[in-house]
Each structure stands twice: as C-alpha cells, then as structure tokens.
Amino acid sequence: MDWVLSEFRQLNVLVNNAGIQRQVNFLKGSRDLGEADEEVDTNLIAPIHLSAQLLPHLRRKKEAAIVNISSGLAYTPLAVVPVYCATKAAVHSWSLSLRHQLRNTSVRVFEVAPPMVATELAGRRNRAEDGEYVMSAEAVAVGVVEALERNQHEVALGAAANLLAQREALFSAINQ
Ligand SMILES: NC(=O)c1ccc[n+]([C@@H]2O[C@H](COP(=O)([O-])OP(=O)(O)OC[C@H]3O[C@@H](n4cnc5c(N)ncnc54)[C@H](OP(=O)(O)O)[C@@H]3O)[C@@H](O)[C@H]2O)c1
C-alpha cells in the first residue's frame, strides 16, 4: 500500500478484480479445503482488506470509487464451485453495506457482476464465440467504465442480468 500511494498519488479508483475459482467436492471430506480457504482469502478477504486500507486515501479525493467484481453466480450458485459462489454472494452483500456506510463520503461503491467471461478462470479457457452466454473480457471492461460514467452502482452484465432479474422477481413474489 505504501508503494502504491507513493507511486500513484492521484489514485482514486480501486478495482477489486483478482479472483480464483476452484471445484470443491464435499463428498471427499476435507480434501479440497486448502483450495477453498484460498478462494475465501483471494475473493473476499483481500477486497475487504484492500478497501479498508485504501479508504483513508480515497476519502481525501474529491471523487473516488471502489469497484467490486462479483459474478452472476452470486445470485444463483453453481454447485461444483460452491465456495466461489459463496464468496461472490458475500461480495454482493458487503458491497451493499459498504455503499451504505460511505453514502455521505466522496467514495462511490460499485458492484459489477459479469456472466461467464472468456478468460482462464478455473483453469479452462472459455471462448466468447462458444455461445451467447460467454462475454469477452473487453466487453466486461466496457461495462465497468459505463457503470462508472453513469454512476450506476449495481450492474449485472449479459446473462448475469437475467439471473438478477429472476431473483428479484422471485423475491417480490414471495414477499407480497
Ligand atoms: N471468467 C469468468 O467467467 C468470470 C465470471 C464472473 C466473474 N468473474 C470474476 O472476474 C474477475 C477476474 O477473473 P478472470 O475471469 O479475469 O480470471 P483470470 O483470467 O483467471 O484472472 C484472474 C486474475 O486474478 C489475479 N489473482 C489471482 N489470485 C491472486 C492473488 N492471490 N493475488 C493477486 N492477484 C491474484 C490473477 O493474477 P495473475 O495473473 O498474476 O495470477 C489474474 O490477474 C474475478 O473476480 C472473477 O471471479 C469471472
């Protein structure tokens, strides 16, 4: 953090993007727990710590932003990657609370939930041309910039938008 702030004094946007995804099979007992712990550390603990440590600096800026990259899987889990989905659901919840806590400061809190993206997450390369549900990394980056420009604090991209809409419809239906 000292190095970042000495090299980039104008820094006013933190993008919590680093993430890993692992298959965790609970039928195998505790075999995969090491990898599960790494997922929690990378996907959830690191964004929380980075944000907390950078906030005093960000709050001194006239305008600043924290951008949390969550996932469509925050809304509907994929059972073979259960801990990953839980970390993303937690990132979603934490983003809501952080946004509320910082509402009277210069720091805006964004959450961008991509669908499946053509990257090497999970050790396989998804390809944008493989199907309508896979988005290119470039399109996700455009989505992040558009969210910042529009001040749209919660954005679900591509197929993730359908998962969010379905969850919201269900929530409305059962809470009438
Ligand atoms: N790909 C998808 O289908 C998808 C869908 C929804 C959301 N997302 C989210 O999008 C974000 C980016 O993932 P991606 O798809 O671009 O995956 P990726 O191609 O595997 O890239 C992951 C990035 O995270 C960094 N990283 C991983 N562990 C780290 C650690 N311990 N410390 C520092 N950096 C670390 C990697 O850095 P190195 O290259 O240096 O290892 C790499 O830059 C993640 O939060 C992911 O959950 C991805």
Question: What is the enclosing helix (H) or strand (E) of 7?
Answer: helix 2-7
Q: What is the pLDDT of residues 53-62, one digit of tens each?
A: 999 999 999 9
- CB of 116 shorter than 6 A to ligand 1: yes
Pocket test for ligand 1, best of 16, 20, 81, 116 (most atoms within 8 A of CB): 20
- d(CA 155, ligand 1 centre) in Å: 18
Query: What CATH number should be reported for the domain holding residue 137?
Result: 3.40.50.720
Going by pLDDT thresholds of 50, 70 and 90, the confidence category of residue 171 is confident
Residue 124 confidence (pLDDT): 62
- d(CA 28, ligand 1 centre) in Å: 26
Question: CB within 8 A of 139, min separation 6: which ones?
Answer: 128, 157, 158
Quote the domain boundaries for residue 152. 2-174
Q: What is the pLDDT of residues 64-93, one digit of tens each?
A: 999 999 999 999 999 999 999 999 999 999
Cβ–Cβ < 8 Å for 146, 103? no
Residue 58's identity, in one-letter code, is L
Give the mean model confidence (pLDDT) for residues 37-57. Answer: 98
Question: Count of domains in the chain?
Answer: 1
Residue 127 confidence (pLDDT): 65
> Any idea which residues carry the catalytic annotation?
84
Q: What is the pLDDT of residues 99-158, one digit of tens each?
A: 999 999 999 999 999 999 999 896 666 665 666 679 999 999 999 999 999 999 999 999
